[in-house]
Structure 1
Amino acid sequence: MRRRPLLSGLALPLSALLILPVGGGSAAGDARHWQQWVTGWAASPVAGGEIPSGDCPAGRGSKDRTVRNVVFLSAGGDEVRVRLSNAFGERSIRVGRASVAVQSEGAAAVPATLRPLTFDGRRGVTLPADAEMFSDPVELDARALSTLLVSVYTPQATGPVTNHPLTAQRNFVAGGDTTLDPSGGRFGRASCWMLTSGVDVERSKRFTGTVVVLGDSITDAAATTVNANRRWPDHLARRLNAVEGPSLSVANAGLAGNMLLRERELGSYLGVGAVDRLDRDVIDQSGVRTVILLEGINDIGHDASAAEIIEGYRQIIDRTHARGLDIVGGTLLPFKGSSMWTPRRQQTWSAVNRWIRTSGEFDGVVDFAAATASAEDPLRLAPAYDSGDGLHPDDTGTKAMAAAVDLSLLLPRHRTDA
């Protein structure tokens, strides 16, 4: 793999009022890569709106309510900070109080770990529209592959709130300010992460940087077991945690239904196109070193040509390289037998995967197609990996995807499988 020199960024103070304009590749975002943080957990935000399935209240918003997000850490540390998000808000949102804790079970926290969050020393903060904001750092024994609870209380009506839907994770909502309630007994269920888009952990000798996975539903959560953290980036995090010595965190920038080239007409909850969310969801993640790209199957399903998809890949490759980052291309999984398959789309899929494998424009390739294909018909998912729709892998399939990643693409010193 070609290794490009990393940029040397500017040092920023650790003030919580590091307000990050979204989607623009801000100077603040550049500098954050080289501070003392890596991304322990991330979720790509979308605009608040009605979602056809699930029980996400993001469309109607919140007033005098607390959301409690359940997040799975890929990396651990002794200090964390939380990234609140109003990335798609049309107006500012007042946060009355927020907290972080280690999960006990469900909405309940381990009481001794419950930490109130502050923002430049204050317990409340106003989130401007179209912006994200970090909390002050807080001491917490946050272990890799553990689960945290991030609670955010909004005393006033918010309008539709920035969220991440279809999470394969049960989250929680309660009336009033319950941010410091460890019991969780007052919380009802919600199917989305709201007002929170990331948790950073302190960079250490153990976790030296972040790999960000940019993808669609196959990366996000589709068809994996709820509350089990069996997305393929979760399995990749487990592999990286098994490596001795310095390793990397994993940030999941997958979005169900997402397209590479544009926003889908179906609904805002599917997110803007990958080329348009690259800065916020990938390049501006703390500690990012390498990107894995697995997008394009939904574009094929909407009859984009191979040339159009390849041009989208080239845009992302050029922009990530311009920031001194490596980018690994993932071949698109087999999809024959799914509702979107046609002979013409199969030809597009074949041309796109051929280019990913042979063009040499990526810094490395993960052949997800080969790793998940049926031995009898390589244009189909292996029956053992098929969730039942011919498109999305199940828990076993996502584990096979993670196993297909050559860790030397991410950790050049690591030459044997973990």
Structure 2
Amino acid sequence: MCRVTAVLLLSLACESVPARATAPPARPVPAVPAPAGSGVVTWAASADRLGDGGADRGYRLVVRTSVGGTGLRVRLSNAFGDHPLTFDGVYAGLRGRGAALRPGSNHPLTFSGSRTVTVPAGALVWSDPLPGTVPAGVDLAVSLHTPDAAGPATGHGMALQTSYLAQGDHGAAEGAAGWGRTTDSWWYLDAVSVRPADPATGAVAALGDSLTDGWQSSTDLDRRWPDYLARHLSGAAGTTVRGVADAGISGNKVLADGSGPSALHRLDRDVLSLPGVRTVLLFEGVNDLKAHTGVTAADLIAGYRRMARRVHTAGKCLVVATLTPFKNWPEWDPAAEAVRREVNHVLRGGGEFDALADFDHALRSPHDPERLSPRLDNGDHLHLDDQGMRTLADAVPPHSLDCRR
């Protein structure tokens, strides 16, 4: 069902989530270091391949900051494109209501001093820092214009956040006029950073699948578990981690490409390249099990260990989460359950990982540990309602995110 911006009086067409392309994932993109002084990631969404981009199209993308600071930068991605991609107008402002911005908050961004930037196929680019301060916990609106986009677009398909589309370049305008269509995806934008007032501030990146992506949490209310975690961390004692990056992709696997590149293949671009990330929280593996491809506990643990070595080599810490129950999901069977339990047993035993978030213990039914607690189950026996998302965030000890290497 298509949705229309609530601030418009006319009945307008709207744009739904674009289907993922069936072609293989784009070439691997290495970690691109953020420019010096980029500070800490305040928002991120892992990129995948969307439908074709549109010429002379504007995008007003609404994202939620997790940590405040000065010197805002945005990262634009053409990772899955097969043509160079030009942006000739990029703005950032604070969202007011709908597509309208708070008066006086919208400012142009530059790239090496220019308001126009062309991103090669497969590449990423960071903007120059924007003067001024951006608060934590606010809706930021990043407006983009693509004059001649063609071919596959890069973005995040399931944003669970209404953003806005326009024909033509309306990025400088603070009002809602021209932004007559809505989209449930984030196009081309995959990260935002700021410089917090406290230089000791760091960030955590949550690497996962649909549970981390927030599937079935309430749209437009920022109730994914990483959102709840950001709110918990905003005033938490015993840690200086304040930024949260959501690196979840619905359907993603640890070991195999499919719904986006595998966690192993996207670790560098989606996580390690983000500025200020001190800790990676890995919560992924159920899709590997329920695909019935013969993945064993040893296979998954080996994948986790490979990621741990890469995370540690980058000087960061890795927190692993136990795999949550999914009995009565159509693809569940006793063999997959046995693998899940063996994986969790190994993870609880420690070893190469810096800390554990026991999500299985937090979510399982007290009457049947193979099932989600009914009060947290959204009804499909795999995904969570809003309370389930909050419960996951509550299961992350804040001090565990502040480990040092």
Same fold (TM over 0.5): yes
Deviates more, 1:139-148 or 1:322-331: 139-148
- State the distance in 1 between where 2:235 and 2:74 align: 26
Deviation at 1:156, TM superposition (A): 1.0
- State the distance in 1 between where 2:158 and 2:221 align: 14
Deviation at 1:307, TM superposition (A): 1.4
Would the aligned equivalents of 1:206 and 1:246 in 2 still touch at CA under 8 Å? no
1:217 paired with 2:229, answer no
Would the aligned equivalents of 1:169 and 1:192 in 2 still touch at CA under 8 Å? yes
One of 356, 367, 373 as aligned partner of 2:358: 367
One of 277, 287, 311 as aligned partner of 2:276: 287
- State the distance in 1 between where 2:227 and 2:96 align: 20
One of 253, 257, 260 as aligned partner of 2:254: 260
Would the aligned equivalents of 2:160 and 2:218 in 1 still touch at CA under 8 Å? yes
Corresponding residue for residue 99 of structure 1: 91
In the alignment, residue 85 of structure 1 is paired with which amino acid?
S
Q: 1:106 to 1:281 in 2, by over 3 A?
A: same
- State the distance in 2 between where 1:369 and 1:221 align: 17
What is the CA RMSD across the aligned residues, in angstroms? 1.8
1:195 paired with 2:188, answer yes
Would the aligned equivalents of 1:34 and 1:287 in 2 still touch at CA under 8 Å? no
- State the distance in 2 between where 1:108 and 1:209 align: 31
In the alignment, residue 401 of structure 1 is paired with which amino acid?
L
1:230 paired with 2:223, answer yes
Deviation at 1:25, TM superposition (A): 4.1
Task: Spell out, residue by residue over 1:324-378, the C-alpha distance to the aligned partner (whole angstroms, 9 max, x if none).
Answer: 1110000011111112211111111111111111142211100000001111112
One of 241, 251, 264 as aligned partner of 2:245: 251
Partner of 2:307: helix, strand, or coil?
Answer: helix
Would the aligned equivalents of 2:38 and 2:193 in 1 still touch at CA under 8 Å? no
In the alignment, residue 257 of structure 1 is paired with which amino acid?
G
Deviates more, 1:244-253 or 1:255-264: 244-253
Superposed counterparts of 1:274-353, under 5 Å: 274-303=263-292, 304-353=295-344
Corresponding residue for residue 381 of structure 2: 390
One of 143, 165, 177 as aligned partner of 1:173: 165
In the alignment, residue 293 of structure 1 is paired with which amino acid?
L
Would the aligned equivalents of 2:354 and 2:403 in 1 still touch at CA under 8 Å? no
Superposed counterparts of 1:22-171, under 5 Å: 23-26=28-31, 28-29=32-33, 32=34, 35-48=37-50, 59-171=51-163
Q: 1:41 to 1:319 in 2, by over 3 A?
A: same
Would the aligned equivalents of 1:330 and 1:367 in 2 still touch at CA under 8 Å? yes
Would the aligned equivalents of 2:204 and 2:241 in 1 still touch at CA under 8 Å? no
Would the aligned equivalents of 2:70 and 2:196 in 1 still touch at CA under 8 Å? no
Q: 1:381 to 1:85 in 2, by over 3 A?
A: same
In the alignment, residue 175 of structure 1 is paired with which amino acid?
Q
Q: 1:246 to 1:290 in 2, by over 3 A?
A: closer
- State the distance in 1 between where 2:261 and 2:38 align: 30
Deviation at 1:157, TM superposition (A): 3.3
In the alignment, residue 193 of structure 1 is paired with which amino acid?
W
In the alignment, residue 138 of structure 1 is paired with which amino acid?
L
Q: 1:324 to 1:407 in 2, by over 3 A?
A: same
Q: 1:242 to 1:33 in 2, by over 3 A?
A: farther
Partner of 2:370: helix, strand, or coil?
Answer: coil
- State the distance in 1 between where 2:397 and 2:214 align: 22
Q: Percent identity?
A: 40
Q: 1:277 to 1:227 in 2, by over 3 A?
A: same
Partner of 1:399: helix, strand, or coil?
Answer: helix
Corresponding residue for residue 9 of structure 1: none
* TM-score under structure 1 length normalisation: 0.86
Deviation at 1:68, TM superposition (A): 1.1
- State the distance in 2 between where 1:321 and 1:183 align: 46
Which runs of no fewer than 5 residues in structure 2 stay unpaired? 1-25
Partner of 2:49: helix, strand, or coil?
Answer: coil
- State the distance in 2 between where 1:390 and 1:221 align: 15
Would the aligned equivalents of 2:55 and 2:148 in 1 still touch at CA under 8 Å? yes
Would the aligned equivalents of 1:45 and 1:162 in 2 still touch at CA under 8 Å? yes
1:272 paired with 2:261, answer yes
Deviates more, 1:204-213 or 1:313-322: 204-213
In the alignment, residue 290 of structure 2 is paired with which amino acid?
G
Deviation at 1:77, TM superposition (A): 0.9
Partner of 1:109: helix, strand, or coil?
Answer: coil
1:408 paired with 2:382, answer no
Number of residue pairs the alignment of both structures matches: 375
